[in-house]
Amino acid sequence: MLDDHSVVEQARLGDERAWRELYDAHADLVFRLAYRVVNDRDAALDVVQEAYVKASKSIDRFRGDSSFRSWIASIALNEARSWLRKRARARQVSLDAVAEPADESRGADDAVSDLDLARRALDYIDTLPEQQRDAVMYRTTEGLSYKEIAEALGTSEGSARVSYHHGISKLRAHMKPLIELTATPVGVRARIDGDE
């Protein structure tokens, strides 16, 4: 197989065989990333297809600063997040739709709060600088090692490690007040918010 750079150049020229090679080389990773975000096999397959369609339309804008693997994974992550946002808008989350939590001491309100926190975390991750965002997503959703993250980002292992730690530290700092607020009993929360 040719190296990605040569294959990408052939794909830019419209070579279908080159696109097939790029797809074969990276589709498994793209699917796993998408599936971890959307948690639905059919939706993940749609995300993979949409990611490659977007990549084919914007291949001229791929500068080669990162690897094709990292670039297509970023497109897929954005598509998966977009799918989640569309789904959330399409159907309002109701208490009836929330599955019973395994911990009986936690009620439906807690489960809704957990879903909201997860959405807020994903939204915040989207705002991180690109390398930090990708490192956090590769590590948390795909479980890649720092070496694998470095390969995907086209950087050193040390840089991948630093990017992840900066990104995750920012995420923790951003989420800490939200987590503390949701952990506060409702009566106390009302007094804190000045609603009483």
Answer yes or no: are the C-beta atoms of 20 and 6 closer than 8 Å. no
CA nearest to 33, candidates 87, 88, 86, 70: 70
For residue 162, what pLDDT is reported?
Answer: 93
d(CA 68, CA 6): 11
Rounded to the nearest 10 degrees, what angle do helices 68-90 and 146-153 cross at? 100
Same domain, 74 and 158: no
d(CA 152, CA 70): 5
Task: Please enumerate in sequence order all residues whose Cβ is within 8 A of that of 100, keeping only pairs 6 or more positions apart, or say none.
Answer: 108
Last residue of a domain, one of 91, 121, 148: 91
**CATH code of the domain covering residue 60:** 1.10.1740.10
d(CA 17, CA 89): 38
For residue 122, what pLDDT is reported?
Answer: 79
Same domain, 186 and 109: yes
What does the pLDDT profile of the chain (196 residues) look like in tens digits?
Answer: 346 788 888 888 888 899 899 999 999 989 988 888 888 899 999 999 999 999 988 888 887 777 788 888 888 888 888 887 777 665 444 333 444 444 444 444 454 456 677 778 878 888 889 889 888 888 887 777 888 888 777 788 899 999 999 999 998 898 888 776 655 444 434 333 434 3
Answer yes or no: are the C-beta atoms of 153 and 142 closer than 8 Å. no
For residue 154, what pLDDT is reported?
Answer: 78
Domain of 15 in residue numbering reads as 1-91
Same domain, 34 and 87: yes
Answer yes or no: are the C-beta atoms of 97 and 112 closer than 8 Å. no
Same domain, 29 and 70: yes
For residue 163, what pLDDT is reported?
Answer: 92
For residue 93, what pLDDT is reported?
Answer: 41
Which SS3 state, helix, strand or coil, does residue 60 take? Answer: helix
Rounded to the nearest 10 degrees, what angle do helices 108-127 and 130-137 cross at? 140
